[in-house]
Homo-oligomer: A and B are copies of this chain.
Amino acid sequence: MSVRTIVNVRERVMARNDDFAGTVRGRLTAARIPSLNLLSSPGAGKTALLEATLQRVGDTVRIAILTGDVQTQNDADRLAKHTDRLVQAVVTGGACHLDASQVLDGLEAVPLDDTDLLIVENVGNLVCPSHWDLGEDAKVVVMSTTEGEDKPLKYPAAFQRASVVVLNKVDLLPYVPYDAELAIHNALSVNPALQVFRTSARTGEGLDDWCAFLASLVAAVRASAPV
């Protein structure tokens, strides 16, 4: 088995994923639903951020969530406590990322007419998910004040392909040797176009801005609606 053969297989798999991603994107565009793909390392607080988001926006932004996990449905169970709307668990059974075919399957369960925004919570992993287009409008990387400030430099692909970075757990800044400005500087050095939010899912700090951003995505799509 040559290296060339292995590369070819990978290219074929990625091409098939991109086909599925195109179908996802087409359906969401037709339904006028903006979509985000949340990436982070395990434990940065994607699920906690979404829990706090659901509590805060209620039904003002009708969010459907597809949440990926390697093995459990824990995140989906956590999120379902905060909303009557769809929280769809996608268990990858070992894979380190969601792929677009899984999102397309998950989308079957989403009531598109009754949804303002789709958020895909990817598997907690800063490497693999960044290479897989899920058909989303934008990737969001969640980083945390308990990680190293150099995460954007060490995992540049995720940050390069993202449009938004959320620095979560800012409530812990007094207790951790973390330089938030340096971390954000590093993120912007990898991708100067990143929109930056600073949040604490625990205390609520910064969530107004984050939720206003989500609402603005929905408003932008509605503003562009055919009359």
Interface set of A (CB-CB < 8 Å, partner B):
1, 5-6, 9, 12-13, 41-44, 47, 69-72, 74, 94-96, 123-128, 144, 146-148, 150-151, 153-157, 169, 171-172, 175-177, 202
Residues of B near A169 (CB, < 8 A) are: 146
Q: How far is the CA of A157 from the CA of B93 in the complex (A)?
A: 11
Chain B residues with Cβ below 8 Å from A151 are: 42-43
Sample of 10 A–B contacts (CB below 8 Å)? A41-B43, A42-B148, A43-B147, A71-B153, A71-B155, A96-B96, A96-B127, A124-B126, A124-B154, A177-B202
Q: Which residues in B have their C-beta under 8 angstroms from that of A177?
A: 202
> In terms of DSSP, what is the predominant structure of the interface of chain A?
loop
Please tell me how many copies of the chain the complex holds.
Answer: 2
Closest CB in chain B relative to A186 CB, distance in Å: 10
Having A9-B9, A42-B151, A43-B147, one finds 5 other A-B pairs with CB under 8 Å, namely: A47-B148, A96-B127, A125-B125, A125-B126, A172-B172
A213 to chain B, nearest CB (A): 24
Identify which of B13, B72, B154 contacts A69 (C-beta below 8 A).
B154
List of B residues within 8 angstroms of A147 by Cβ: 42-43
A72 touches B172 (CB 8 A): no
Q: Is the CB of A126 within 8 A of B1?
A: no
A70 neighbours in B (Cβ, 8 Å): 127, 154-155, 157
Q: How far is the CA of A6 from the CA of B96 in the complex (A)?
A: 17
- Write the nearest CB–CB distance from A109 to chain B, whole angstroms: 22
